Every structure is written in C-alpha cells, then in structure tokens.
Amino acid sequence: MYPQIKIGLSRFLYIVVMLGLVFPLFSKYVFAQQNRGVIVQTERVQLMTLPNLITIGGAVIAANPVAVTASLTAKIKMLDLQIGDMVSAGDVIAQQDTSELEHQLLVHQSELETTQNEIASLRVNLDFETSLILLVEEQITLVRKRAEYAKKLAQSNAISLEDAENAQISLNTVRQQLIMRNKTLTEIGSTIRQLELTEAQLSFTIDKLKQDLKNATLTSPVNGQIISLFAEQSGFAREGDMIAKIRTEQGYEVEIDLPVKYASFLRPNEPIFARTQNGESIKLLLRVILPEENRRTASRITRLHFLDEVPEVARSNGAQIDVLVPSSTIEELLVIPQDAIVPVSGGHIVFVFDEGVARRQAVKLGSAIDGAMIITSGLQPGELVITRGNEGLNDGAAVKQGKIPTRKVPSAEDRAGSDFGGSAANMAVPTELAEDARSWLLKWQTNRGEQSGIFVLSSKASLYNDEPVLVTKKNEKIYFDTDLVLPFGIITLSFALSPAPDSLNGTVILSGLPNGREVEIDVSGSSQ
C-alpha cells in the first residue's frame, strides 16, 4: 500500500526538476510570453483595524465527556474494551446482574394477575347487586301502594286495623332490604377502587422493573472514544457509579492560562484566531473564563470551543494550539493574503506590481489571521502585491494583470482503465508517511541532453502543494498527479513510477500545455 503523501521540494530543487522537464521543450514559447509580460493576479495591501495580538500556548482537552453510569446496585460484567477504543451509539459497554430484578418481576406480575382477577370477580358482584337493587326498588313501589290502600280500607272499617299494620310492616321490611343492598354495593365499589389502585401501583412497578432490566445493559449513548473505564476489582457497582466516559467527536475544547490583564479584551461572540502545530489557521470562540485566579501567575483557566470543524491534528488530548489573544488597544495593521508570501533564505518576500513590473520586496511577518498575514514592515497601504503567478518570478520581470486559469487534476475515477491510474477500489488507504521520507535523484533526457534533479516524497507541505497528492497503485506501479504553475499557465504532471528498494523508473506525462499537446518523458532515479 502506498500512502497519501505530499510532494515536498525546496524551491530551488523544485524549479530545477520541473523546469528541467518543461523548459527544454518550450523555451521559445516561454521567452515570447515573458516579453509580453507574465500574467499575474494581484490584491491590494489593506490597512485593517485590529487589536494587537500575543500568542498564548494552549492544549486541546475533552469537553464535557458523556458519562455512562450504573443503573442499579448489582454485580457488573465489563465487556472487552480498552481506553482509547472507538464506540458507536448503542454499543454495549457493560452488563449488570439482573437475577434479582427478574425474580421481583415474576412476583409482581403474579400479584398483578391475582389483583386483576379479584377486580373482575367483584365487578360481576357489583353488577349483580345493582340488578337486585333495581328489583327491590320496584318491590318497594308496589308494597307502598298496598300499604296506603290497606290504610284507607282500615279507616272505613273494610279491613281490620291489624291487617293495615301488617301491610306497613311489609313496606318497612322491603325498605330495609334496599338499605342493606346499597351498603353492599358501596362496599364492593370501595374494594374495587382499592384494588384498582393496587393494580396501578403494581403496573408501575412492573414497568420500572422492565426498564431497569433494559437499563442493566449499559450502552454508549453517542459515537465517540472511551477515555475512562470502571476499574472496581470486586465486580460490584452501585447505582450512579461511573462506568465509562466517552468523548464525542464534537467534544473538544482549547484550554489556556489567560493573564487576567487580557481577560477584558475577549468577547463571547467574537472569533479568536489560532494555529495548530502544522500551521493550520483555525477560529475559536470563548466559552468560559473560570473565576478561580492563580495568584502566582495572575491568570485564569480559560476554555474556548472550535467555531468550525475540528482539524484532524487537534483531535487528541494535549494537542498544542497557539491562540492569538488581543493584548492591547486597537491598532491599524497592514494585511495581505498569505498567497502573496514567498519564503526565501533568511526570511520572506513579496512581489509588488509596479506599472507592469514585478518588484521584489522583503517583508517582516506578524500573525496569521484567517488566510491573511499581518505585515509589520516592508509594504505600504494600497500597494498591489502579486498573489498568483509569483512562482519563479524575478525582480524586474514584466508582468500584466489577468486571471490565471485553474486546472482540475483528474481523479482516480476519471483515469480508471487508462495507463495512468487505477480504479477507486485500487486506491491506497491514507496513512502517515515516515518523518525520514526518502529522496530520489531523477534523471531524464531532453534535447539538451541528460538532465537531473532531486525529488522528495514527503509528508510535509511544500510551497507548491497545499493538499495531499492521491497515490494509487496498479500493476506494481504507483501513480500520482501534481500541478505546476509556470509563466505560461498551469500544467499537470502525471507520474507513473515502478519503485524498487534503491531505485525507480517510469514516465511522466505533461498535459495542459499551451499548444494542447501532451508530452511523455522517461525518468529513472536512485535513492539518496
């Protein structure tokens, strides 16, 4: 497998190699182009109102990791996980013993069934008593009429007074039966209500037991990385004990020791610029300045969160971050795009566009801010600096403003089936390249004879390649493309190399040339 790499060449050697490939073929064309002026793109030096900044070293920390806690007091069995392992939401972390819960569930389910059966039986009795009460009420109506009629007959001496009294006794007896039936009905209703309350309590307990049984399987609620694990040797956990801590992909913050005198310059909703250790510019936002002050250093712990996606280099505890903190009053500072900066031996330069002439100008750099660079000396506001087309320029070169075309490097899919590249399935898996990346002495033939130069495969960024170069493998060869900006435009170099332990050979195809042609050149190399 071949890693995802960057083409790392010093400025001089890059030009030696690349122009050695290209210039012999197009010297006349390049000379004509330069006489008319190299096309460049420019931007003006801006005077911006910015605070004076100081750099404070900070470190990435896990921000509020998600805790997995024991759901009950019981024995626990941890799964075969280690600190640093990645987990997904729903993955099992540990299993608590549920034998006691299962016993309680069976007992309460039995009690619930008994209670429900009693309620059902009482409801049958309730319906029966209700029917009896209706009959008794009808009987009372009939007996009352008979008693009233007997009383009238006794008053007219049609029947004896004793008969009238017996009719009244019968009415009183039926009324007493109604009272007893109503009392029984009330007692049945009260018992049913009590049993229904017991039923509800049992149902609640059973539902809780079922949930406890489910919760006894401890799972990760989020996607993330395990940073802490339960280590009790007894294998017994109490409810609420910390079983695991999981850091989410979004759970990163930057922590700094902020001098108290600078605290007032930080605003909660204003971006704070910072740099990773590989120089990548990032933005942070203030989350909190802790109230406790370190009297020895006159500083407070301050935590900032990432405004955008967390860079890969910052996704680990302790990763170093340089935070640019406002330290004084607002100042007017000169700012230019970073693309205008050209590193040279002993410092940095820019090319100033001066009425069709590129003037080399040494500059001193300040802090990098969101793709721009503060200039502390060497430039004046309003000057035009060359941001594209400055590769290979010389002091005094003829230049003209225009738009430099961009060229999309063909993907592996675009080149599938061709001699240059493999299918997406053959792409190498990205990996880190060793720090001691090897260099190769390449040789090639031109109409001026044999040419040579040093070529380095490196994991470091170069002046010319800010993005990784996708390396693919096919038929024991490695393939990759890289762009080269020349005065007449951008060309693409497509490499096909057969590497050996101490040598390599292959070809490079140059495309995107001004005349539309493609040129293939044989190359060979030896390890340096």
Helix (H, G, I), strand (E, B), or coil: what is residue 178?
helix
Mean pLDDT of 21-39: 52
**Cβ count near 314 (within 10 Å):** 21
CATH of the domain at 86: 2.40.50.100
Residues 240 and 284 in one domain: no
Residues 130 and 273 in one domain: no
Q: How far apart are CA 163 and CA 169, in angstroms?
A: 10
Which is higher by pLDDT, 42 or 164?
A: 42
- 383 within some domain: yes
Whole-number pLDDT of residue 434: 30
Mean pLDDT of 353-372: 85
Identify how many contiguous H helices and E strands the chain contains and give both numbers. 3, 29
C-alpha pair distances (Å), 232 with each of 67, 97, 238: 17, 15, 11
Q: What is the pLDDT of residues 85-106, one digit of tens each?
A: 888 888 999 998 989 889 999 9
- 177 within some domain: yes
Query: Distance of alpha carbon 160 from its chain centroid, rounded?
Result: 104
| Locus of tokens 């209706």 | 134
Residues 332 and 362 in one domain: yes
Residues 468 and 361 in one domain: no
CATH of the domain at 206: 1.10.287
Helical segments of 293-354, H only: none
Q: What is the pLDDT of residues 292-319, one digit of tens each?
A: 888 888 999 998 988 887 887 887 778 8
Residues 17 and 43 in one domain: no
Beta strand extents in 190-251 (DSSP E only): 217-219, 224-229, 236-237, 242-248
Which is higher by pLDDT, 213 or 426?
A: 213
| Locus of tokens 């406890």 | 212
Residues 332 and 429 in one domain: no
Predicted confidence (pLDDT) at residue 431 exceeds the cutoff of 60 = no
Reported confidence tier of residue 8, pLDDT bands at 50, 70, 90? very low
Residues 169 and 289 in one domain: no
Whole-number pLDDT of residue 358: 93
Residue 73, burial from CB neighbour count under 10 angstroms (0-12, 13-18, 19+): middle
Q: What is the pLDDT of residues 492-509, one digit of tens each?
A: 777 777 877 677 778 888
C-alpha pair distances (Å), 87 with each of 66, 154, 230, 258, 424: 12, 99, 16, 34, 28
Mean pLDDT of 460-483: 57
Domain limits for position 79:
66-97+216-248
Which is higher by pLDDT, 21 or 110?
A: 110
Mode of pairing for the β-strands spanning 38-44 and 399-401: parallel
Spatial CA neighbour of 489 closest among 512, 462, 517, 469: 512
Residues 75 and 154 in one domain: no
Reported confidence tier of residue 370, pLDDT bands at 50, 70, 90? low
Q: Of 376, 397, 418, which residue is a domain's last?
A: 397
Q: Of 190, 224, 248, which residue is a domain's last?
A: 248
In contact, 19 and 26? CB cutoff 8 Å: no
Q: Of 344, 370, 397, which residue is a domain's last?
A: 397
- 513 within some domain: yes
- 485 within some domain: yes
Residues 229 and 93 in one domain: yes
Q: What is the mean pLDDT of the chain?
A: 75
The fraction of the chain above a pLDDT of 90, given in percent, is 15
- 128 within some domain: yes
pTM: predicted TM-score of the whole model, two decimal places: 0.37
- 291 within some domain: yes
Q: How many domains does the chain have?
A: 4
CATH of the domain at 316: 2.40.420.20
Residues 173 and 282 in one domain: no
- 1 within some domain: no
Residues 352 and 476 in one domain: no
| Locus of tokens 């009693």 | 118
- 499 within some domain: yes
Q: How far apart are CA 107 and CA 232, in angstroms?
A: 32
Residues 186 and 242 in one domain: no
